[in-house]
Structure 1
Amino acid sequence: MKFIVQWNGHPTVQQSAVERFMKTGGALPPDGIKMIGRWHSIGELSGCAIIESESTAPMAAWVLQWGDVFTFRISPALSDEELGAALGAHQAGQ
């Protein structure tokens, strides 16, 4: 299943977030998560990633690695095709 991961940094810890990112390269997610892509906002501590995972446990571990400097929002994601199939099934059931 795909997920949209969004994060926002706490302004008071910007320097430590920058240092950790530079040291780790952003620390790739743990086993069990395939990162499809990651993007960063310019001029602020925020961004988003699209990931794939069959379990929420690796997502929890990944968020905990950065939880002292970022807040996270993780939402299930559907492609156009997946959403179209769901909408079609819904309409057929009405």
Structure 2
Amino acid sequence: MKFIVQWNGLPTAQQSAVERFMKTGGALPPDGITMLGRWHSIGELSGCAIIESNSTAPMAAWMLQWGDIFTFTISPAVTDEELGQALGAFLAQK
């Protein structure tokens, strides 16, 4: 399943975030997560990633690695095709 991961950091965390990112290269996610892409906002401590995982356990572990610097929102994501199928099934029930 795909998920949209969004993060936000407080301005007071900027130095810690920069140091950790430079040291770890952004710390790739643990086993069980495939990162499809990651984007960062310019001039802010925020960004988003699209990931795939069959379990929430590795997502929780990954968020804990950065939880002292960022807050996270994780939402299930569907493609246009998947949404179209769901909408078609919904409309067929009416």
Query: Under TM normalisation by the shorter chain, which class is it?
Result: over 0.9
Q: Give me the whole-angstrom Cα distance separating, in 2, the residues matched to 1:88 and 1:14.
A: 45
- 2:74 corresponds to which residue? 74
Deviation of 1:78 after TM superposition, in Å, equals: 0.3
Deviation at 1:10, TM superposition (A): 1.5
1:2-35 CA-to-partner distances (Å, cap 9, x unmatched) read: 0000000111111011000000000000000000
**Aligned equivalent of 2:62:** 62
For 2:42, the aligned partner's letter is: I
Unaligned runs of 5+ in 2: none
TM-score of the pair, normalised by structure 1: 0.99
Q: Which residue of 1 aligns with 2:32?
A: 32
| Moved beyond 4 Å, runs of 4+ | none
Q: Which amino acid aligns with 2:75?
A: S
Q: Percent identity?
A: 84
- Write the letter of the residue equivalent to 1:87: L
Tell me which residue corresponds to 2:83: 83
Residue 56 of structure 1: CA displacement? 0.3
| CA offsets 1:20-76 (integer angstroms, 9 cap, x no match) | 000000000000000000000000100000000000000000000000000000000
Q: Structure 2: how far apart are the matches of 1:11 and 1:30?
A: 27
Distance 2:45 2:77 in 1: 23
**Structure 1 runs not aligned, ≥5 long:** none
Paired residue secondary structure (2:60): helix
Q: TM-score, normalised by structure 2?
A: 0.99
Which stretch of structure 1 is more off in the superposition, 67-76 or 9-18?
9-18
The number of aligned residues is 94
